[in-house]
Structure 1
Amino acid sequence: MKIIQREFGSIHDGVITSTTLVNDHGMEVTSINYGCIITNIMVPDQNGQMENVVLGFDTIENYEKHSPYFGAVIGRVAGRIKGGTFELDGAKYQLEKNNMGNALHGGNKGYDKKVWHVDVNSDDEESSVVYKYISLDGEEGYPGNVEIKVTYCLSNANELTISYEAVSDKKTLLNVTNHSYFNLSGDLKRDILNHALKVKSDSFLELDDELIPTGEVLSVANTSFDFRESRVIQDGVNSSHDQNILAGNGYDHPFLLSENHNQEIVLSDEESGRILTIETDQPAVVLYTGNKLNNDFEIRSVQSRKYLGLCLETQGLPDSIHHPHFPSNILEKGEVFRSQTIYKFGLL
């Protein structure tokens, strides 16, 4: 195992450090302490060719200017909160409205735009980078001082484990995730429309016109949302289902997982031979197929465009504070939040 650190750039909040975890098989995971962004994941294809399978940039300036949350940790609350307001114990909180009058992904300067403290650890079997941040009471409108730690751990089994731990000194909301855009073709050679996805999920959340859950839980049966057997992403892009059309011809939906820690999410690309298996303790995964990626910038010399990557965001349900029948995203004072998601890279 090996760890490589270097200066990635600098912004007004300080120097940005890049950390690359390298295992004994040559797999690499690179991240920076700006937003805990994963910039590269290098894994082999069926011919042994090592290539990057996530969308990202080589400069901090591009992340500040162009990034639609590429590879970042999202918080305090992933997804949208309707109207940018919520109540806890009778107190009303007004959040930053950064998406059509709603709060999205933690606000104007969520966890994805913060500079985090960085530490590293390594032994013979795994290496890790640990990011820490203190989110102050009132930040983006949320109550409580929240101490949060995010750990990226790479093993010799070609597994990346993302662990989250947080505690608040006031009752607050917390729903964190990683927003990596995957493309298993390698170095963005193709889009993700022919990627095949399998998800152990019997139901998904209906969205309104602002892409916020209505509260209705819909069955996946006999729809383009049925990933219980593997199907290609193209099916949803071509679908006439009103929810696919609403999302911009594709997916931007939370799926309720029927199992945890049992190969519940599997993404594959037949041409490269790569396969990604995701296991989590979270109740849901948000599938976003890059339906709204802009084409006015480049990603490492490749023109950005729709469907160039897809996100599999393991998390709690968005806007759960307004839907009491959803699993709660409330974090009590002094309660320790813990969550873990494992990304296993292999070959078909």
Structure 2
Amino acid sequence: MEVTKKKFGEYKSEPVYLYTIENDQKTRVSVLSYAATWQNFEVNENGINHSLITHFNNLDDYIKTPYQVGKTVGRVAGRIGNASFKLDNEIYELPPNDGDNLIHGGNNGFQNANFSSEIVGDKVVLFHKFLSSDDKFPGDLELKVTYSLSPENEVKISYSATSTAKTLFNPTCHVYFNVTDNEDVFGQEVQINSDAILKVDANKVPTGKILPVTNGYNFKKFKTIAKALDDLKSENGKLEFDDTYVTDGNSVATIKSNKRTVDFSSDRNGLVIFTANPTDPQKADNREYNSVAMEMQTLPDAINHEKFGNIILPKNKSVTYTNSYKYRQIN
């Protein structure tokens, strides 16, 4: 296993570093200190390198593109309804950044920081302290994000945090996958181990209801994105997926083409999928999708819905969550 480091650019007069972990099979995982971003996931098949995730080769695109490509997002991934929550009988009102709601922790979330970073053995470890005075969540939060790559081509991203006060913690990696050889993602097959999705309102905020999957949302067996979108349009007229599946953690989902697969696993209970084209807004408007976001996390807005899971981080206690992504070549 080899880990290298080089400068990628500058953010707010600070250097941004690019780290690359490479195993003996020439599988490479690249990470930026900016937003603890998963910059690339590159595999070598019969001497040819192939990228599995949407990525940019310059820092400016990561900064200006609104799709949070590959970034670590939080403190709380997804939306918090009305940008408010109750904790120990105190109501916290946060500055909304998505209409009346909060998304991905707000404008001072994880995705807007340049992390301190270092190589520890064959892992990349990134650190940052997020102040309550900046993001308005209770407590100053110390975050550590660790990226690793196994000899068996499994990427693990671990999120560890402690806080000076009881607070919320539900991060994820906002990574977009396309494991086909095509620019579009319509031929990618998806399977999700879930029987239920969250019902959301017109602003995509969960209502608290959990619904059984209907045909338009059913990925219990492998289905291409093209077929899934056809089923969705026939069922309710929708033209994209931006939905949360309720999972039991562990084995969450698999995506594949005729050449390769990626298996997803997690220790939390939600998977958000989002069909998108982060690299071309005009194609995105035309529903010409080139990737699917696969965000493993506790269910969005969990603090406001009792049965959605626990995202409370107690004062001075440490918690760690881990998401895993395992690549396999189909011979």
TM-score calculated relative to the size of structure 2: 0.93
Match in the other structure for 1:215: 208
Asked whether the 8 Å contact 2:65–2:278 carries over to 1, the reply is no
Distance 1:252 1:319, change over 3 A: same
Which one of 211, 220, 228 corresponds to residue 228 of structure 1? Answer: 220
Query: Bigger shift: 23-32 or 87-96?
Result: 87-96
Match in the other structure for 2:179: 184
**Aligned pairs for 1:255-270 within 5 A:** 255-258=245-248, 260-261=249-250, 263-270=251-258
Q: Secondary structure at the match of 2:63?
A: helix
Partners of 1:190 and 1:158 lie apart in 2 by 24
Post-superposition offset of 1:306? 4.1
**Aligned pairs for 1:164-313 within 5 A:** 164-186=159-181, 189-220=182-213, 222-238=214-230, 239-240=232-233, 245=238, 249-258=239-248, 260-261=249-250, 263-270=251-258, 273-290=259-276, 293=278, 295-296=280-281, 306-313=288-295
- 2:23 equivalent to 1:23: yes
Q: Deviations over 1:12-56 (max 9, x none)?
A: 1511011011111111111110001111111134x5521111112
Partners of 1:297 and 1:156 lie apart in 2 by 39
CA-atom RMSD in angstroms: 2.1
Asked whether the 8 Å contact 1:294–1:304 carries over to 2, the reply is no
Match in the other structure for 1:43: 43
Asked whether the 8 Å contact 2:79–2:101 carries over to 1, the reply is yes
Partners of 1:156 and 1:297 lie apart in 2 by 39
- 2:180 equivalent to 1:162: no
Match in the other structure for 2:63: 64
Post-superposition offset of 1:236? 3.3
How many residues are aligned here? 328
Q: Secondary structure at the match of 1:236?
A: helix
Asked whether the 8 Å contact 1:224–1:235 carries over to 2, the reply is no
Q: Secondary structure at the match of 1:61?
A: helix
Amino acid at match of 2:256: S
Post-superposition offset of 1:174? 1.0
- 2:79 equivalent to 1:80: yes
Q: Secondary structure at the match of 2:217?
A: coil
Amino acid at match of 2:217: F
Match in the other structure for 1:93: 92
Q: Deviations over 1:269-318 (max 9, x none)?
A: 12xx110001111111111111x7473489xxxx9974211111110011
Q: Secondary structure at the match of 2:60?
A: helix
Post-superposition offset of 1:11? 1.9
Partners of 1:30 and 1:277 lie apart in 2 by 19
Match in the other structure for 2:144: 149
Q: Secondary structure at the match of 2:139?
A: coil
Partners of 1:284 and 1:241 lie apart in 2 by 26
- 2:130 equivalent to 1:135: yes
Asked whether the 8 Å contact 1:295–1:304 carries over to 2, the reply is no
Unaligned runs of 5+ in 1: none
Q: Secondary structure at the match of 2:306?
A: coil
Asked whether the 8 Å contact 1:236–1:244 carries over to 2, the reply is no
- 2:47 equivalent to 1:52: no
Distance 1:153 1:82, change over 3 A: same
Post-superposition offset of 1:108? 1.2
Distance 1:131 1:241, change over 3 A: farther
Post-superposition offset of 1:152? 0.3
**Aligned pairs for 1:309-320 within 5 A:** 309-320=291-302
Post-superposition offset of 1:226? 1.5
Amino acid at match of 1:19: Y
Partners of 2:107 and 2:270 lie apart in 1 by 25
Unaligned runs of 5+ in 2: none
Asked whether the 8 Å contact 1:16–1:32 carries over to 2, the reply is yes
